[in-house]
Amino acid sequence: MDGATAKKPTVLVTGAGIGIGRATAHAFGKAGYHVVATDVLAAEGGAVAAEIVAAGGSAQFRLLDVRSTAEADWLVSDLNAEFGALDCIVANAGIARKVPLDDLTDEKWDETFDVDLKGMIRVLRPALPPMKARKSGTIVCISSIMGIAYGWDEHVHYSAAKAGVVGLIRGLAVELARSGIRVNGIAPGYIRTAQLLSEQHSLGPAAAQKAGEFIPMGRIGEPEDIADVVLFLASSAARYMTGQTVVVDGGLLVGRY
């Protein structure tokens, strides 16, 4: 670790290779953080770290499958040894697979929970002791409007897991508040990501375009719209916020209910 990196606050972003994770990694890089970009997508994650460095920032890529407790424990332990404690963790890694109820086996249910909910606590758990010892740190977990207000046809497992993320945020926030650690979340609406544009698992390009027509702000969101709010929640500007899941959806929920 060089001297320049040592002076920077450090953020770990899961699922940083594409979409919201990628935009978030770039936002923190521009804000002066040392970014630890993690993903199972080695090429995409490595490219994000390289882009941040090329733009004058500080970053590294670390391969991480959040389904593996051993991988998460080892990686976070290594980072704790390098940095003392992480300043921020953005728990973003997730999957959303379209599965009708008749085909929703235990295995398919468990796969989504293993990544979208359990994958978060795997990364957070080993990072907490150094944060507690230092009495500071921020955590931002990515949920979804499907976890707080919408049901999603043929995505029952996804909605349930993302609702679980909201409960995780609340529980951690209360337990960690007196340790100086803040925990908040974001519930994105329709965001232009590979997931949303998937014909197989989500809206697809045509339906995403139509969705923009009934969103009050007149468009679907961009990953950067979420990344900037993540950065806010991690900053001192949100110093008295904890346990909150902020909806960022262009007015979709308030415009339809």
Residues assigned a catalytic role: 158
CA 160 – CA 24 distance, rounded (Å): 24
**Ordered alpha helix ranges (H), the chain:** 3-6, 19-30, 42-54, 69-83, 106-116, 118-134, 156-176, 204-214, 223-234, 252-256
- Coil vs helix vs strand at 186: strand
Q: Tokens 């909806």 belong to which residue? A: 247
Residues 6+ apart with CB under 8 A from 61: 16, 37, 38, 39, 42, 45, 46, 48, 49, 50
Selection from 103, 83, 101, 102 nearest residue 8 by Cα: 83
CA 194 – CA 116 distance, rounded (Å): 17
Selection from 11, 204, 16, 205 nearest residue 94 by Cα: 16
CA 221 – CA 244 distance, rounded (Å): 21
Helix axis angle, 19-30 to 42-54, nearest 10°: 20
Selection from 81, 80, 86, 11 nearest residue 49 by Cα: 11
